[in-house]
Amino acid sequence: MDVSSLLPELLKGFTHFTLGNAVMIFAALILIYLAVFKEIEPVLLLPIGFGCLLANIPLAGMTAAEGMMGVLYDAGIKTELFPLLIFVGVGAMIDFSPLLAQPRMVLLGAAGQFGIFGTLILAILLGFPLNQAASIGVIGAIDGPTSIFVATKLAPELLAPIAVAAYSYMSLIPIIQPPLMRLLTTKKERLIRMEYAPVPISKKTLILFPVVLTIVVGLLVPEATPLISMLMLGNLLKVSGVVDRLSKAAENEIINIATLFLGLAIGSTMSAVSFLNLDTGKIMVLGLFAFVLDTVAGLLFGKLMCVISGGRINPLIGAAGISAFPMAGRIAAKIAHEEDPDNFILMHAMGANTAGQLGSVIAGGILLSVVSKMLGIV
């Protein structure tokens, strides 16, 4: 046998390797670097980065329909299974007591979704069709699972950049939000102390809350039912107190495995052909705009509540009205604490933050319902 005839076979990976593949592998290495050495959303950026790396190795076959990544995508992304399993875990981690003790925080959770709709309009003006514009707008919720769920339904071709943008900006909350908080609030406002004397929430109320909310939201916005029901299921597992094993599994093993597979599946869609285009850059910029707009809207509504309450509400908690739980709530409390070491607004901020988590799910469902109806998407 002529050994030289085997050389093309041994080098076929190199002969099919393109400049685009090199660029995307470099991008994958950056994601892995940020996850490992900078600890920026490592739980998701690490598998996304590795999935991206695999997607750009020519002829590997892992992203083909019968390959591992193809199977994961079909089983967990197309069916929305992975985002929903993650929501079960998130629900098991959330304590809705601060929100139930302060129902007015729902208003801040609603204000924190303004950027979704503002960005939708801007995306349309930039030439994106309605289905893609709606998917891009949901990045503003800073809620990865909701962004992925909506994008999978409306614009699966944009899933990778939308997911990367949503989770990247979530990790950048400590960098992006504090300057906006200081810019839009006065020192006097940041020094406002909010006494926390919560009304005791009975176990019966905590159990009824996820059940009633699932029914109400499901009837009002049926498209939001998958997301809200899984979020509430996780919370019910926690507050019921009778299924500790399931509750602990939901907030540990289930969410961890789902996140790993989700990251790999999303990363596997980041091929050079699909990712290296002008639209990806536009999506990243629009995602940042949506995030900033949500934060600004929350802060301005917080200032309005401050005026209406006679100066008893610290506007900083308005920035916690986005969905990034619990980071947004902690950042708002941290800024207030830096201004006054004896000022503790964490529980108020967490009330707004949990309201934002619910708000993002409902806003995503409303957007999905309206856009699907307008475009005739089943």
Residue 273 contacts residue 55 (beta carbons within 8 Å) = no
Instruction: List the one residue out of 30, 74, 66 whose CA is nearest residue 48.
Output: 30
Hey, where are the domains in the chain?
A: 66-375
Task: Measure the CA–CA gap between 374 and 378, rounded to whole angstroms.
Answer: 11
Both structure tokens of 219: 């009837």
DSSP codes of every residue in 189-221: HHT------PPPPPHHHHHHHHHHHHHHHHHH-
Both structure tokens of 336: 């207030």
Task: Measure the CA–CA gap between 22 and 175, rounded to whole angstroms.
Answer: 30
Report the pLDDT value the prediction gives residue 1, as an integer from 0 to 100.
52
How are the residues of the chain apportioned to helix, strand and coil, as percentages rounded to the nearest 5?
80, 0, 20
Report the pLDDT value the prediction gives residue 226, as an integer from 0 to 100.
94
pLDDT digits (tens, 9 = 90+) for 235-294: 999 999 999 999 999 999 999 999 999 999 999 989 988 888 889 999 999 999 999 999
182 CB contacts (<8 Å, ≥6 apart)?
A: 190, 335
Residue 302 contacts residue 314 (beta carbons within 8 Å) = yes
Report the pLDDT value the prediction gives residue 3, as an integer from 0 to 100.
62
Task: Measure the CA–CA gap between 333 and 192, rounded to whole angstroms.
Answer: 12
Dmax (CA) of the chain: 90
Report the pLDDT value the prediction gives residue 19, as an integer from 0 to 100.
93
Which residue type does 173 have?
I
pLDDT digits (tens, 9 = 90+) for 288-315: 999 999 999 999 999 999 999 999 999 9
pLDDT digits (tens, 9 = 90+) for 35-50: 999 888 898 889 999 9
Instruction: List the one residue out of 332, 324, 325 whose CA is nearest residue 299.
Output: 332
Looking at residues 155-170, what average pLDDT do you find? Answer: 88
Which residue type does 217 have?
V
222 CB contacts (<8 Å, ≥6 apart)?
A: 365, 369
Report the pLDDT value the prediction gives residue 2, as an integer from 0 to 100.
60
Report the pLDDT value the prediction gives residue 12, as an integer from 0 to 100.
78
Residue 166 contacts residue 317 (beta carbons within 8 Å) = no
Task: Measure the CA–CA gap between 336 and 44, rounded to whole angstroms.
Answer: 30
Looking at residues 9-27, what average pLDDT do you find? Answer: 87
Looking at residues 354-358, what average pLDDT do you find? Answer: 93
Both structure tokens of 296: 């600004």
| Interaxial angle between packed helices 346-375 and 203-220, expressed in degrees from 0 to 180 and rounded to the nearest 10 | 20
Instruction: List the one residue out of 315, 321, 351 whose CA is nearest residue 142.
Output: 321
Task: Measure the CA–CA gap between 245 and 250, rounded to whole angstroms.
Answer: 9
Task: Measure the CA–CA gap between 229 and 231, rounded to whole angstroms.
Answer: 5
Whether 150 has a pLDDT exceeding 80, the answer reads: yes
> Sign of dihedral through CA atoms 90, 144, 174, 335?
negative
Instruction: Return phi, psi of residue 197, to 5°.
Output: -125, 75
277 CB contacts (<8 Å, ≥6 apart)?
A: none
pTM: 0.89
Whether 14 has a pLDDT exceeding 90, the answer reads: no
Q: pLDDT class for 234, splitting at 50, 70, 90?
A: very high
Dihedral angle computed from the Cα positions of residues 63, 69, 72 and 75, in that order, rounded to the nearest 10 degrees: 10
Neighbours of 252 (CB within 10 A): 13
pLDDT digits (tens, 9 = 90+) for 109-126: 999 898 899 999 999 999
